[in-house]
Chains A and B, each alone.
Chain A
Amino acid sequence: MNPAQEGAQGKATGIGVYPGYAVLLILLLAYPWIASGFWTVQVGAYSLILGIISLSLMFLAGYGGVVSLAQLTIAGCAGYMLAIHGVNSAGLGLGWPWWAAIPIAIVIATLMATLIGLISVRTEGIYTIMITLAIAVAFFYFTRQNYTVFNGFTGFAGLEPPLLFGVNWRDAMPFYYLCLTVAVLCYSLVLYLGRSNFGIAMQAIRDNPRRMSTLGFSVNTHRVLAYTIAGFVAALGGVLSVWFNGRISPGSISTGPVIDILIIAVVGGLGRPIGPFLGALVFVLLENFAIDLIDRDRFNTVIGIAFLAMVLFSPDGLLGLWEKLKPRLVPRREGSAGT
């Protein structure tokens, strides 16, 4: 069922959001009180951050039918801009205060996303994948080779969130709640956009661009706008990501992590905005604990096979699996509006 129908159903039951999600929200809020510091940050916050970046990919792919592999690049751009404009351990930063550095980083990254959109808008389908991958790789090489601005192979360290209201936002609980807030905001944004006129137009363009342009919609403008919005979401994720790692270097945006974002979005499911977060959780759990369970050497094989299995047997990812299993576990609601 697509987001529009889901939204309609939500309205039919009188609550804006599935009641199940309310429970989920409570669990998420309570999580740091139960879990240790490591689990809160390394699993909880990290999943949320990866989920945000993958959400931007899902937004473009699920609603817009555009698979862009440059989302992590935009997140990385935001991270680099933050490092360069703020304070970093290499002493190469401009030293702007956080209330200037953070917005400028997000703005620059969103502009970059728009630029990528302008370049890629005339391409479709597979070509978009290829061109966004090439842009991602070009940016990776550039940051690695350039030392004056990007500090090359070493990158930047010593990146921390600012000390606000007396709270060290990098401590486990505050950081987790920060990520949770941003994640919920982005999720709501995507959900809202999905049902707005813009979102409906995007999906219509995804399904039949020719018809839409005949109807007078500017396909290119809508697409570029989608890139911009997705870029904004990715930029937010990028800022959180450098605070999480405390560093950024070309390795953070190389082909491996770029493909990881795609894997996360696909495994989670491209149909609904909760999908990327699911995928991110699975990915993070595997990454942290596969080493304990299986031979540490073959982690990539495991992830690769999991990914393959998902694509081969459940193209809609975990969400799709859940949709198939749900009728057997939960009784159908009275008068549900289709499937």
Chain B
Amino acid sequence: MSIEKRTVPGFKRSLLAAAVLAVSASAGAADGVKMGALATLEGAFTVLGEDGMRGVKMALAERDNKACGQEIELITGSSDASPDSAIRAARKLVEQDKVEILIGPLSGSEGLAVKDYAKTQPQVTFLNGTSAAQDTTLRDPADNFFRWTTDGAQWQAGLGTYAYDEKGYKTVVAIAEDYSFPYTQVMGFMLEFCEKGGKVTDKFWVPIGNKDYSTIVASIPDDIDAIYVALGGADAVNFLTQYEQAGGDKPLIGGSITVDQSVMGSKGRRKSYVVGTPSAGPIADAWDDPRWQAFVTTYQESYPDGLPSPSLFAHGYYVNTLAALTALEAVDCDLSDGQARYRAALSSLELETPTGMVTLDANRQAVADIFLTEVAEADDGSLYNKVVKVTPQVPQTMGMDPEAFLALGPVGRDNPECK
């Protein structure tokens, strides 16, 4: 009896070892291509990540989830918008699940981290999700990272010029959150605005997560024409409320994620305040082009509990997945030889998307159309983003000479300046 008892812990240990062995040795035997998708499915950005995933699935559904006649295995990874969690999830997808293609991540800082990780995993092809920090492809790009979506600066193409020429704003202040993506957005706006002769007299960098704009509101000078706000939609509503309560009345210029559904769903006084706000970004909800309308309809039919209209996250992930699949078909799913043929196909691909033609530049960065919008009131009283103009094929250098553009230096709190 006592001997049996004594061996129990040893037996348990070997059972555990066997289990560990079995799981670690398993590699999964599938014939089709293994694709990983990484989005923010935890934390406060879950809603955005979920929409991104919808984009991935839409692109897959168009091809019946197959590539070259074989089923594609899609494995999802989840992050919480922090670079560390993105790398952890990417590691699991690449090193444990052995994906051959990875699509993601969602946010700017995650993208920078994934790019660095991609360099250590040359056997996998990485495509972007919606991360829009400039340096992911502009500086020190990775040979196996392909970004089929445009960056935060490109997203603002046309806005600075419109604000100066059509709206007549000559002097503005900027309010944005204190990290890389808003820096990029502000730069995109300022490049055109300052070149036209506009002045950005002050920039208010709001600490991330801060909801109290009272001091910023108090610091906004009186002698300006408009306020450029590059906050997320919900924060923008917060700022607007506090600005209004303090008696502010200057018009706004919006960043790409500012004038979204939450701002347009405003009630009361805020609503009339927002009408006329210009903005720019990679999509425009109300664009009447048939390709876009078809995309919206498919989205709404496939996902009745999704958002009312696909967000730029669904769009971005869709475009990147579409690129991945199109290139796969072009090389007949030949991922041998370090995916050399596949990557060559990706680099030279000319992709037709619901928002126009997209190609890649030498850094594997997308060149695409950008939409300039303005908030208008529909007949039924609701607000929508009316398309003012489409700026075609905007490159990452925004029309500037590449050398000069690079010489501007990485975006930061004080770069660029035009007081």
Contacts and interface: CB of A to CB of B under 8 A. Distances in A.
Interface string B81-93: 0111101100110
A42 B96 CA distance: 9
Nearest to B12: A329
Given A153-B109, A247-B116, A27 B17 contact: yes
Given A42-B92, A42-B95, A296 B6 contact: no
A249 interface: yes
A144 B208 contact: yes
B116 A246 contact: yes
B83 A251 contact: yes
A251 B85 CA distance: 9
B112 to A, nearest CB: 6
A245 B87 contact: yes
Contacts of B6: 330-331
Given A38-B96, A42-B96, A245-B87, A153 B179 contact: yes
A181 B84 CA distance: 25
B42 A157 contact: no
Given A27-B17, A42-B96, A329 B8 contact: yes
Interface stretch (A29-37, A57-65, A201-209, A223-231): A29-37
A221 interface: no
B178 interface: yes
Nearest to B95: A38
Contacts of B96: 36, 38-39, 42, 288
A123 interface: no
Interface in A276-315: 287-288, 291, 296-297, 299-300
B178 A246 contact: no
B113 A157 contact: yes
Contact of A158 (B8, B9, B17, B116): B116
Interface string B303-329: 000000000000000000000000000
A110 to B, nearest CB: 24
Contacts of A330: 5-6, 8-9
A161 to B, nearest CB: 13
A220 interface: no
A36 B180 CA distance: 37
Q: Is the interface of B mostly helix, strand, loop or mixed?
A: helix
Interface string B49-87: 000000000000000000000000000101000111101
B251 interface: no
Contacts of A37: 95
Contacts of A7: none
A38 B91 CA distance: 8
B219 interface: no
A298 to B, nearest CB: 9
Interface in B100-129: 109, 112-113, 116-117, 120
Contact of B78 (A38, A42, A158, A291): A291
Given A147-B412, A158-B116, A247-B113, A296 B78 contact: yes
Contact of A247 (B9, B84, B180, B412): B84
Interface in A129-158: 141, 144-145, 147, 152-155, 157-158
Contacts of A152: 178-179
A252 interface: yes
B41 A297 contact: yes
A313 B24 CA distance: 32
Contacts of B2: 331
Given A153-B180, A252-B84, A34 B116 contact: no
A319 B325 CA distance: 51
B407 interface: no
A249 B179 CA distance: 12
A163 to B, nearest CB: 15
Nearest to A254: B82
B238 interface: no
A196 interface: no
Contact of B42 (A89, A147, A252, A297): A297
Nearest to B412: A147
A89 B141 CA distance: 12
B207 interface: yes
A154 B112 contact: yes
Contacts of A299: 42
A295 to B, nearest CB: 10
B34 interface: no
Nearest to B18: A34
A336 B150 CA distance: 70
B362 interface: no
B217 to A, nearest CB: 21
Contacts of B120: 246
B388 to A, nearest CB: 33
B24 A246 contact: no
A35 B96 CA distance: 12
B21 interface: yes
Interface string A25-57: 001000000111111011000000000000000
Contacts of A20: 9
Given A299-B42, A331-B6, A251 B84 contact: yes
B140 interface: yes
Interface string B404-419: 0000000011000000
Contacts of A251: 82-85
21 contacts: A20-B9, A23-B13, A36-B24, A38-B91, A38-B96, A141-B207, A144-B208, A153-B109, A245-B84, A245-B87, A246-B116, A246-B120, A247-B113, A251-B85, A288-B96, A297-B41, A300-B42, A330-B8, A330-B9, A331-B5, A331-B6
Interface of A: 20, 23, 27, 34-39, 41-42, 89, 141, 144-145, 147, 152-155, 157-158, 245-247, 249, 251-252, 254, 287-288, 291, 296-297, 299-300, 329-331
**Closest 7 CB pairs between A and B?**
A251-B82, A153-B179, A39-B24, A38-B95, A157-B116, A38-B96, A35-B24
Given A37-B95, A38-B92, A41-B95, 8 more contacts: A38-B96, A154-B180, A157-B112, A157-B113, A249-B113, A288-B96, A296-B76, A331-B6
